[in-house]
Amino acid sequence: MARTHPMTITEKILASHAGKKEVFPGELVEARVDLALGNDITAPLAIQAFEEMGAKKVFHRDRVVLVPDHFTPAKDILSAEQCKVLRNFAKAHHLTHYFEIGRGGIEHVLLPDKGLVLPGDVVIGADSHTCTYGALGAFSTGVGSTDLAAVMATGRLWFKVPESIKFIFYGKLNPWVSGKDLILYTIGQIGVDGALYQAMEFCGETIRALPMEGRFTMANMAIEAGGKSGIFDPDRITLHYIKKRAKRPYKLYYSDPDAKYREVYEYDASKINPQVSLPHIPSNAKDVRKVGKIEIDQVVIGSCTNGRLEDLRVAAKILKGKKIAPSLRLIIIPATQEIYRQALKEGLFEIFLSAGAVISPPTCGPCLGGYMGVLAEGERSLATTNRNFRGRMGHAQSEVYLASPAVAAASAVKGRICHPEEVMKKGA
């Protein structure tokens, strides 16, 4: 039977994986999953459920990926025990892709860089920021640990086909504006539930010129607007990224020109300046010039949102030859071991260390208030992470502000939240 109605990229991918010619928003479909992901917080629960359901083996040892990244290197005995569960399961089931510390990194940066996620894939992960992979033109979304267990056993999962919202960006980006600023601005416009269970589809001339780093960042934070996923049509930039990484076939999908969307938003990117999300919600986004002189105690540059090599390069460009404010802590976290290695090779670490920063091995630690940068009562942190809920990074009476690596690095120098131009001016 031929397809009878136009579809979005999300609908096409789900239809293909469900063995159907077409699907409709709201429809429940059982779809084949290309990759299932768990980490050291969520996978132990999934493994327990997997064993309780009587499953004897994973559906495919190449398609189940385990990444200990939240509390690693293990910060305490409980963390060590969690990682041990992953390690033992990976060994017992001969998993191809288990990434021990020293050989891995933060899951949502690691998997694309390893070529494990490709355009057209359906990917689930027991982590809400699994939506990151939509930057490659894949349908990827976070699920609960029980769902992960079911997929590990069967390779399939039920999905409700989401409606889609189109976000069109046009115009040239201003200096120091990045994908992080675009997504913070977007969330500020529509709210934290503005895309509830919707696929957020990003397009337009601005997006077509945006590097992969920016696309990953935007897709990563779709969940902060309530989105089921974030997704981009694959283009020449996508193909250039995956060319040297892909080790298996993949298929490109594109939205039909007359596909139906729940809503369409258009933004002039030339009017968007560097953004900061104020506590305690990502949608509380403002132009950095309008937040006032907010003093901060800590800056974190890293995470699955902004721990990529280009993020570190931007930070180094601003920090070169400068010192951070004496009362402030600057924590730099390369997202993967390879990014760590390359940053070292390029001399970025020397810049960071000379500025007064501390460099951490790859970890999610401070993003969720785990370790490597927990806040005390009354402290403020500016971070390149993705959430700033109350108590997210430590004490319930602490504050987290979200921004790009450029704003974070500049603010570390000034000791207060500021526009990068303040630091990059001659004599500043």
pLDDT higher than 70, residue 427: no
Rounded distance, CA 258 to CA 5, Å? Answer: 9
Q: How confident is the model at residue 57 (pLDDT cuts 50, 70, 90)?
A: very high
Q: How confident is the model at residue 2 (pLDDT cuts 50, 70, 90)?
A: low
Q: How confident is the model at residue 238 (pLDDT cuts 50, 70, 90)?
A: very high
Smallest CA-to-CA distance from 281 within 401, 405, 411 is with 401
Q: How confident is the model at residue 4 (pLDDT cuts 50, 70, 90)?
A: confident
Smallest CA-to-CA distance from 288 within 376, 410, 394 is with 410
Average pLDDT over the chain reads: 96
Taking the CA atoms of residue 267, residue 400, residue 131 and residue 182 in that order, the dihedral angle to the nearest 10 degrees is 20
pLDDT higher than 90, residue 428: no
pLDDT tens track for 317-356 = 999 999 999 999 999 999 999 999 999 999 999 999 999 9
**Encoding tokens for residue 347?**
């001399």
Write the DSSP assignment of 353-405 as a string of letters: HHHT-EEPPS--GGGGTSSSSPBPTT-EEEESSS---TTTTB-TT-EEEE--H
pLDDT tens track for 239-266 = 999 999 999 999 999 999 999 999 999 9
Residues 6+ apart with CB under 8 A from 92: none
Rounded distance, CA 304 to CA 282, Å? Answer: 16
Per-residue model confidence (pLDDT) at position 426: 54
Q: How confident is the model at residue 425 (pLDDT cuts 50, 70, 90)?
A: confident
Per-residue model confidence (pLDDT) at position 3: 57
Rounded distance, CA 31 to CA 206, Å? Answer: 33
Task: State how far Cα 423 lies from the chain centre.
Answer: 27
Per-residue model confidence (pLDDT) at position 284: 95
Smallest CA-to-CA distance from 14 within 130, 162, 216 is with 162
pLDDT tens track for 115-160 = 999 999 999 999 999 999 999 999 999 999 999 999 999 999 999 9
Residues 6+ apart with CB under 8 A from 274: 176, 177, 181, 287, 288, 403, 404, 406, 407, 419, 420
pLDDT higher than 50, residue 295: yes
pLDDT tens track for 198-229 = 999 999 999 999 999 999 999 999 999 999 99
Rounded distance, CA 24 to CA 260, Å? Answer: 10
pLDDT tens track for 270-283 = 999 999 999 999 99
User: All domains of the chain, ordered by start, with CATH?
Assistant: 9-266 (3.30.499.10), 276-419 (3.30.499.10)
